[in-house]
Amino acid sequence: MRAYYFDNLPGDQRLQHNSGKSADLDDLRELGVLHWTIPLDIPGGWEAKIDEVAAQQGYKNRDTMNVTKEGLGELYESKLKSFFEEHMHEDEEIRYILSGSGFFDIREHPSDEWIRIHVLPGDLLVLPAGIYHRFTLDELNQIKALRLFKEEPKWIPYVRGPETEANPYRVNYINSLKGVLVA
């Protein structure tokens, strides 16, 4: 995993777009983003380590997502476009990268700058409920990821806008950054 500020220059979203300003794990933790490196070839297998993290974090369900041009066919470009639209979820977004690679961009608060996180095989990334983010593949144009969920799998994106700003999960997320205790 490597993180840095997005350069906001026009061009293919799958390119690096590295502004030259880096971000580190502490920067991500301040935004509620968690990261583990769990190599695919660790003794005992990555599955055992994922099971351990899942038990600690309360992740009960999982599935696998495979984003490739071959796999998605005619839906490939429209899916990438929808993944790259700025949105939030009412649940954590948890991904363990099995193969391929891509970028998760998260909005830093309060600056509203994008931080780009390049995920590779062995990265486990957790985005908190309520954080604005987007996803795209990189130039490899493929990723296979294990998705983990606290409850039943669901993926409902709430596109950024006035209604989403008032969403209780967004409000709780912003309050958590301010150190406000929420019920």
> How much is the average pLDDT of 116-138?
98
Residue 124 has pLDDT above 90, yes or no: yes
Binding-site members for Fe(2+) are 87, 89, 93, 133
The SS3 of residue 137 is strand
Q: Which domain holds residue 75?
A: 2-177
What tokens appear for 175 in the block? 């309050």
How does pLDDT run across 59-76, given as a tens digit for each residue?
A: 999 999 999 999 899 999
Evaluate whether residue 183 is within a structural domain.
no
Binding-site members for Ni(2+) are 87, 89, 93, 133
CA distances from 73 to 69, 77, 97 (A): 6, 9, 22
Nearest CA to 104 out of 154, 63, 68, 145 is that of 145
What pLDDT band is residue 38 in, cutting at 50, 70 and 90?
A: very high
Quote the number of domains for the chain: 1
Q: Give the chain's largest Cα–Cα span.
A: 48
Mean pLDDT of the chain: 94
Evaluate whether residue 42 is within a structural domain.
yes
CA distances from 61 to 50, 83, 106, 127 (A): 12, 22, 24, 17
What's the CATH code of the domain at 41? 2.60.120.10
pLDDT of residue 180: 60
pTM for the predicted model, two decimal places: 0.94
Evaluate whether residue 49 is within a structural domain.
yes
d(CA 33, CA 37): 14
Nearest CA to 100 out of 138, 51, 127 is that of 138
CB-CB contact of 17 with 114 (8 Å): no
How does pLDDT run across 136-183, given as a tens digit for each residue?
A: 999 999 999 999 999 887 779 999 999 999 999 999 999 999 876 554
DSSP letter for 32, please.
Answer: T
93: Cβ contacts below 8 Å, ≥ 6 apart: 125, 126, 127, 133
CB-CB contact of 36 with 50 (8 Å): no
Evaluate whether residue 182 is within a structural domain.
no
pLDDT of residue 17: 98
Binding-site members are 87, 89, 93, 133
